[in-house]
Amino acid sequence: MTSGAFWMVLVRFLERNVGLISTLILARLLVPEDFGLVAMAMVFFQFLKLFAQFGLQNALIRFQDADRSYYDTAWTLILLMKSGVALALVLSAPFIAAFFDEPRVQPIIYVLAGMALIEGTKNVAIVDLMKKFQFRRYFAYSLSKKVAAFTVTVSVALIYQNYWALVAGNVAGAVAGFILSYTMVAYRPWFSLERTGKIFRFSSWLFVNNVAQFIRDRGTDLIIGRMAGAAPMGTYRVAFEISNLPTSEIYAPLMRAFFPGFASIAHDRERLRRVYLDSQAVIATLTVPAGIGIVILAEPVVWTLLGANWLVAIPLIQVLGLYGVGQVLHGNRAGLFMALGQPHWISLITAIDAAVTLPLMAWLLAAGYGIEVAVWAKIVGSLVAAPLGIALVLSRLGISLWTFAAIFVRPALATAAMAALLLWAFGAHRSADGAVDALTSLAVAVPAGAVAYGLTVLALWLLSGRPAGAETRILGMVGPAARKLLAGGTSRASKVAERD
């Protein structure tokens, strides 16, 4: 599981770096309105896709003894559902454009309908790369899709310099995923509905959770797009992408790697408790400092990476960065509850979050506050839902609150030290009029903050007597890969020496 976590973090890291580079290039070629137009179309596309996302692939992971009949059934159900999504998109396109009062959204919807059909025919057995812990191959699969999307997006943007570049990139990623899914696994699907009942009994609550999560996360897009317009919506989406790079983009792949491991040991509660605490410690150690770092350095990040047209995104990145850190502190509950066969708790917690976030955001915008204030609604909703989520995790695993809280002590102290250094470094590069040398600030602050955090965590760990925990796990994740890289480099150097 540790090796899998390393590969999942690596794939997500490289994916997001490719995505970040793409966003930075596009931010120079496009305007916030372009991002907003595509976001308007995507929010309805993602909504309709919910009805084709019953967590069927998670069901295949959960059922360790699933045979071909399960895979055929899952593939057939996905194909039928995605076909329904495509039809619904075509029929609803004029109404979606009218909802936003934006006719340019309609043709985008038609293209996304075709993309839904492509996704529906993808080989469902690609999930075996995770189920069977073949994370290196999953790494190649995921990264190849991202590179294909990046290449097409940037090429179209350079030629046309409009929102169609974003649409073309999404389609290219779907096509690449379809092709790779059939070249990387031997299974070939066929039509079957034999296991529909058993799959749906597990997946129905995952569907409810997908709906709740969509309402929470993408409902904000609907509110901002409807009440503020395309440009603010585009700014919000880009700010969300930037702010969540350090947290969810490490958090999500770790959870994806841990879920198959949780599922395989769910019957052994003591082992599950130990593995859960280790996984949460790793997540906190890696993501909390990264999230706080993006909050502190939001201004130089925007100046350097996005440019003057995106300065309004600075307060959004800061607030959403705090939101990302808060999500990490909730605990790795989604993978745990799915492994325990209790996904209904995920749905309840997410629904509570959405029930607070969306009305509050709508009220703030209606009252005349800008989106830089309205986004605080996400933090409020997260804080309201957090106690229930943490309490459920602790009760299901028999963990005390102190044991859970202790996981965060060393990361929190080390993050505080890093934050102090970053604030000093950031302030040192401000001129008398308050301007900041953004590029120099990042060049100094980022490596200095990383070193300060790493050394502080290491010192605290040594002072604590080197207890088994996040530091041990991270060394276990990085050590083997580093040894392989060093061995590869030594081998190549030896061959060169022999030739010489």
**pLDDT band at residue 500 using 50, 70 and 90 as cut-offs:** very low
- Mean pLDDT (whole number) for 478-483: 51
User: What integer pLDDT is reported at residue 199 of this predicted model?
Assistant: 66
Indicate whether 496 pLDDT > 50: no
Cα–Cα dist 382/241, whole Å:
18
- b/e map 126-140, b = 16+ CB within 10 Å: bbbbbbebbbebbbe
User: What integer pLDDT is reported at residue 49 of this predicted model?
Assistant: 73
Instruction: Looking at mean pLDDT, say which of 245-254, 275-284, 350-359, 429-438 comes out highest.
Output: 350-359
- Mean pLDDT (whole number) for 45-69: 65
SS3 430: strand
For residue 430, list its beta bridge partners.
Answer: 436
Give the mean pLDDT of the chain. 77
Q: 139: part of which helix (H) or strand (E)?
A: helix 135-160
User: What integer pLDDT is reported at residue 108 of this predicted model?
Assistant: 92
Question: Domain segments of the chain: what residues?
Answer: 2-480
Question: DSSP alpha helices (H): ranges in 398-437?
Answer: 401-406, 409-428
- Mean pLDDT (whole number) for 157-171: 88
User: What integer pLDDT is reported at residue 66 of this predicted model?
Assistant: 66
Looking at per-residue confidence, does 419 or 443 come out higher?
A: 419
- Mean pLDDT (whole number) for 298-308: 81
Give the predicted TM-score (pTM) of the model.
Answer: 0.65
DSSP 8-class letter at 306: I
DSSP 8-class letter at 493: H
- Classify the phi-psi angles of 434: left when phi > 0, otherwise alpha if psi is within -120 to 50, otherwise beta: left
User: What integer pLDDT is reported at residue 319 of this predicted model?
Assistant: 92
Give the list of residues 6+ apart from residue 428 with CB closer than 8 angstroms, or none: none
Cα–Cα dist 211/126, whole Å:
24
User: What integer pLDDT is reported at residue 359 of this predicted model?
Assistant: 93
Indicate whether 361 pLDDT > 60: yes
**pLDDT band at residue 65 using 50, 70 and 90 as cut-offs:** low
Indicate whether 210 pLDDT > 80: no
User: What integer pLDDT is reported at residue 356 of this predicted model?
Assistant: 92
Lowest mean pLDDT segment, chosen from 47-56, 163-172, 419-428: 47-56
Looking at per-residue confidence, does 55 or 149 come out higher?
A: 149
Half-sphere exposure for 16 (CA within 13 Å, toward CB): 19
Tally the residues of the chain: 500
User: What integer pLDDT is reported at residue 132 of this predicted model?
Assistant: 63
- b/e map 86-117, b = 16+ CB within 10 Å: bebbeebbeebbeebebebbbebbebbbebbb
User: What integer pLDDT is reported at residue 72 of this predicted model?
Assistant: 81
Give just the sign of the alpha carbon dihedral 201, 205, 211, 217. Answer: negative
User: What integer pLDDT is reported at residue 90 of this predicted model?
Assistant: 92
- Mean pLDDT (whole number) for 178-190: 84
Cα–Cα dist 366/374, whole Å:
10
- Mean pLDDT (whole number) for 125-150: 74
SS3 398: coil
Q: Is the separation of the CB atoms in 228 and 365 below 8 Å?
A: yes
